Amino acid sequence: MEKHAVLYLVVPCYNEEEVLPETARQLLSKMESMLARELISQKSKILFVNDGSRDKTWEIIERLHTENPIYTGVKLSRNKGHQNALLAGLMTAKERADIAISLDADLQDDVNVIDKMVEQYYQGFDVVYGVRSARKTDTFFKKFTAQGFYKLMKAMGVDIVYNHADYRLMSRRAMEGLEEFQEVNLFLRGIVPLIGYASTTVSYERHERFAGESKYPLKKMLSFATDGITSFSIKPIRMITVFGFFIFVVSLIMLVYSLVVHSMGHTVWGWTSTIVSIWAIGGLQLLAIGVVGEYIGKIYLETKNRPKYIIEKVLEE
Ligand code: UDP
Ligand code: MG
C-alpha cells in the first residue's frame, strides 16, 4: 500500500466552544508529528463539522482556518445529531482524502492512537476500530448504561464491535461503501461492519470530557439504543410473536381448567382472574402494537428519503 496517504480527521462539533481551541491545538501537534515522520501527506487536514451549534463554535472554526489552512470546516444548515454530522464529514473527506479518522471534539478519544490506526491502514486494513480498554473515568451510571447497551445490542442480534464508539479509521473505499447505504435512521456502528473489507482494532483509554458537558443525556442515549436495535434487527418482532404464542398456549390450558371447574359446579369466583387477564392481554397488545409501530415509523421515514443533512458552507483554501 502506498505511503503518504492523505488523512482527514473528522470531528463533529455541537456547542463545543469551550473545548475546541484545546482540541484544535492537540490535533495539530499530532498532525505535525505525523507529518514530520512522513507518515501522512502534506495535504492532510483536520475537518470540523459544525452541527448547527448555537454558540461560537463556527466562528472558532473559521478563525482556525484563516490562521492555519490545515484546519478546515463544514457547516451544516442546522443541528442534525452526531451520526448525521459524522456522515457529512466522512462524505466530505471521501472526496479529498485516502483515509479518514472520526473522533469526538471533547478529547475523550485518545489522540495518541491515531498513529497506530494509520499504521494499521498501511498494513492493509480498510477499517480500524478504536476500542476502549478501560472506563476508569466514566461515572458508574455511564459505564453501566453503556455496557448494558452493547450487551443488549448483541442479544438482539446486531453485529457491533464491543466497546467501540465512533472513533475509527476508514479507507476511501470503505467510505464509498458507506455511501451506498441509503438509510435515514443512521447507526454507523452497525453499518460499518456490514461494509466488509479487512478490519482490525486498536485499544485506547477513554478520557474524561475535557470541558463542557455531555451532549448525550439519558433521553438521547435511550433513543440511540432503540434506533440501533430497530434499524438492524427484527428480533423484537420475533420475540413478540413467540411470546404471543406462549400466552395463547397458557390461555388454552386456562380454558380447559375453567371448564373442568365449571362442570364441578363452583361458579362465580372468577372476577379477579378475569380482571387480571384483561389487563395482561391489554398490556401485551399495546406493547406489541408499539413494537410494530416502531418499525412502521422507520418505513415511513425511509420512504420519504429525506436528505440526512444539508451543507451550508465548506471552507476551501
Ligand atoms: N455532537 C454533535 N451533534 C449533536 C450531539 C453531539 O455533533 O447533536 C458531537 C459532540 O460535539 C461530540 C460528539 O458528538 O464531538 C460526542 O458527543 P458527547 O461528547 O457529548 O457524547 P458522550 O461522549 O457524552 O457520549
Ligand atoms: Mg464525549
Rounded Cα gap, residues 26 and 126, in angstroms: 25
Q: Where are the alpha helices (DSSP H) in 105-234?
A: 114-122, 140-155, 172-179, 188-195, 218-232
In this structure, are residues 95 and 166 in contact, taking their beta carbons and an 8 Å threshold?
A: no
Ligand 1 contact via 14 beta carbon (within 6 Å): yes
Q: How far is the CA of 107 from the centre of ligand 2 (A)?
A: 7
- Cα separation values, 222 from 83, 145, 191, 245, Å: 15, 9, 19, 29
Ligand 1 contact via 108 beta carbon (within 6 Å): yes
Ligand 1 contact via 45 beta carbon (within 6 Å): no
Asked whether the CA dihedral 159, 160, 161, 166 is positive or negative, the reply is positive
User: Closest-lying ligand to the alpha carbon of 86?
Assistant: 1
Task: Give the pLDDT mean for 29-39.
Answer: 93
Q: How far is the CA of 3 from the centre of ligand 2 (A)?
A: 32
User: Closest-lying ligand to the alpha carbon of 217?
Assistant: 1
Ligand 1 contact via 16 beta carbon (within 6 Å): yes
Write down the pTM of the prediction. 0.80
Pull the grid cell for residue 129.
476500530
pLDDT tens readout for residues 244-267 = 777 777 777 877 777 787 777 766
Q: Which of 10-19, 49-58, 228-237 has the lowest mean pLDDT?
A: 228-237
pLDDT cut 90: percent of the chain above it: 45
* Furthest C-alpha separation in the chain: 93
Rounded Cα gap, residues 53 and 110, in angstroms: 24
Ligand 1 atom with least separation from CA of 81: 8
- pLDDT at res. 2: 55
Ligand 1 contact via 80 beta carbon (within 6 Å): no
Residue 182: CA atoms inside 13 Å, Cβ hemisphere, count?
Answer: 7
159 Cβ contact list (under 8 Å, min separation 6): 190, 193, 194, 232
